[in-house]
Structure 1
Amino acid sequence: MSAQDYKFKGWVGLDKDCVEKGTLVEQEFTPKPFGDSDVDIKITHCGVCGSDVHTLNSGWGPAPYPICVGHEIVGHAVRVGKDVKEIKVGDRVGVGAQSCSCMKPDCSQCPNKNEQYCDKSVGTYGNFYPDGSKSMGGYGDYARVHEYFVFKIPDSIPSEIAAPMFCAGVTMYSPLKRNGAGPGKTVGIIGIGGLGHYGLLWAKALGADKVVAISRYSNKSDDAKKLGATSTIATAEDPEWAQKNANSIDLIVSTIYAPNLPIADYLTLLKHHGTYIQVGAPEDKVPAFSMFPMIMKGVKIGGSLIGSPAEIKEMLQLAADKDIKGWVNEWPLSKVNEALAAFQRGEPRYRIVLVNEKHVN
């Protein structure tokens, strides 16, 4: 079979109950038309992200069913367009949560290496390209993506380790790097899970003096310290946690998206002129909070969205140079429904990666 003869096939959700009922089904779908700058990827691995579940259950708004999710894609290039410059057939490559942007010189974001904030950004699944075709993700056999959003993977990073870095990894790397995590700084990571454990790994790798793992309970404290934390805070086990740790952290990155976030208490942890960055995206609105901790100490509150292509390349090189490996659990793609159920139960420590048995030998 030639590269042009394969069919795109994946596990798709047909309605908002597909995760709860375990009813993703494998079926063929039509990818976007192949362009001169496109790369077709034979998928070997795809990470499971919280965004996949939010999308499948229409938690962030109605999903365009049928939909194949998955935006932590790793595989091998099997076809490249005539204008593709950096990727060749056979390269091991990865794709994250973004598959396109306008890439125009007059864009307010793309020329400044902020492509993820482009108004015409296209997500790897659940969005539509300018020609009206639907973007479909990596819970399947093949992916088709513009070369600018396809990245070579350093040889030293195993595919199952690389996959979650393309969303979870860079979602934490970007705000840490952009907000000065490094020598002389104390960094706090709220939530020790699929996102948060990368926050601990990157904060340590970037050279932060102290790394504080902030979670409700202390049951993950040993894990947190193995991942790079120098101390932990268990907010549900000490009613005075905020006061006891006040004015101690330069930068906090929060992965939590519960509707009852104690934001004012988190701001209390910050030093004067510190920064709080939210990356966890809630389905519901967070409650109002007192502005005084923000005003009285001059702290800043911000948000961060995935990472730019430049940051993905930089992150992969850092992982290769320092032998950084996230904690992953491999599941066969054919058992995706069981994997999503395990994800919903909070079982993985700390990331699930689907392995396409048809393509891994």
Structure 2
Amino acid sequence: MVEGKFSEIRGWAAFEPGIKVKPWSYRPRPLGDNDVEIKIEYSGICGSDLHTIKGEWGPPQLPAIVGHEIVGRVVAKGDGVAGLAEGDLVGVGAQVYACLKDSCETCSRGLDPHCPDMVFTYNDNYADGKQAQGGYSEAVRVDANYTFKIPAAIDPVHAPPLMCAGVTVFCPMLKHDIKQGDRVGIVGIGGLGHLAIQFASALGAHVTAFSHSPNKREECMALGATAFVDTSDEKQVEGARQSLTHLFVASNAPANQYNEFIKWMKIGGAIVMLAVPPGKMSFSASEFTGSEVSLSGSLVGGVKTLRKTLDFAAEHGIKPIIERFPMDQVNEALARVDSGRIRYRAVLENPRD
């Protein structure tokens, strides 16, 4: 069996619900035949990290090192790993394992995020019972199938948000076959939304950005939007009625706001939730039968979709707007993300040797 470079991995872990993390180290799982060990250079902060350590999605497994937007270099690999070499620049997203068997009902359909055996990057357990730990650390060991080469055209510091936020917005666009002529709306111009504008525009769609912050108009247009609606302006909102073939909701919009979203859709349009709204939704049947609008959600993209996301971003020059923080300033970065002041994704940087 190949030995890894790290017998202990140092990171920043949550020990109680909240947004504070502390230095902590753990002994990693043995490096399996199909595993790689990655020395982390950059780790993005995702809203899911905060939801997890704050306990908003249920009690977390503590101590927990979160972070599932990981970019670094391969420093060791198992004997069965092909296609990756030591020194390769790679990324890891929100998932670190699925069976990927042809006999698996979900994996065989390219839906490996729904595999019964899937393992999230953190706050989850492998089949052997060992807890998965994430990217706010110096290194990580994961299955090679969920380790992706970063294309040379992508600046490594801009790669982490593509591993989660990027694939989160691009995956449903592929499923809905977004193309030239489609009229796509993006609600919530933040960490997800500013990337969604870029991907939809690169696919050829007419993109309308919806935001209650009129000062984001110029930025949205620069990112590729062809129209902007200030949602605090009733006249502009009224003008958006029945204008969209697709709407991607990238904000935690209140559940009751979806009733308004339906009014923006053309007959037979599709609304896709990219974020989880608080509260329960309430609709009358006639809202759907009268409009023939569909409402769906999207989790994360699987192996094939993540590769497509990175390749497409490289080809079209898509990159997140980021703020950079040294890894030891992770608590300051978490506070800034939690306050909503980040523009638009935070990236933690480990010191270089």
Say yes or no: does 1:27 pair with 2:17.
Answer: no
The residue correspondences of 1:4-43 to structure 2 (distance < 5 A) are 4-17=5-18, 19=19, 23-43=20-40
Gaps of 5+ in 2: none
Output one character per residue of 1:127-147: Cα deviation in whole Å (capped at 9) or x when no partner.
001100001000000011100
TM-score scaled to structure 2, two decimals? 0.96
Secondary structure in 1 matching 2:129: coil
Shift of 1:154: 0.7
Partner of residue 266 from structure 2, selected from 267, 271, 279: 271
1:258·1:286 contact (CA, 8 Å) conserved in 2? no
Identity %: 36
Shift of 1:5: 4.5
Secondary structure in 1 matching 2:23: strand
Shift of 1:243: 3.5
Partner of residue 67 from structure 1, selected from 25, 47, 64: 64
Cα 1:331–1:59 change in 2 (3 A) is same
- Name the counterpart of 2:224: 228
AA at the equivalent of 1:306: V
Say yes or no: does 1:211 pair with 2:212.
Answer: no
Secondary structure in 2 matching 1:167: helix
Partner of residue 129 from structure 1, selected from 126, 131, 144: 126
- Distance in 1 (CA, whole Å) between partners of 2:253 and 2:185 is 18
Partner of residue 88 from structure 1, selected from 72, 85, 96: 85
Structure 1 vs Structure 2 CA RMSD: 1.5
Secondary structure in 2 matching 1:66: coil
Gaps of 5+ in 1: none
The residue correspondences of 1:283-322 to structure 2 (distance < 5 A) are 284-322=278-316
1:253·1:277 contact (CA, 8 Å) conserved in 2? yes
Shift of 1:247: 1.3
2:7·2:27 contact (CA, 8 Å) conserved in 1? no
2:255·2:279 contact (CA, 8 Å) conserved in 1? no
Shift of 1:103: 1.9
The residue correspondences of 1:124-273 to structure 2 (distance < 5 A) are 124-208=121-205, 210-238=206-234, 240-273=235-268
- Distance in 2 (CA, whole Å) between partners of 1:345 and 1:235 is 21
AA at the equivalent of 1:13: A
- Distance in 1 (CA, whole Å) between partners of 2:253 and 2:124 is 26
Secondary structure in 2 matching 1:220: helix
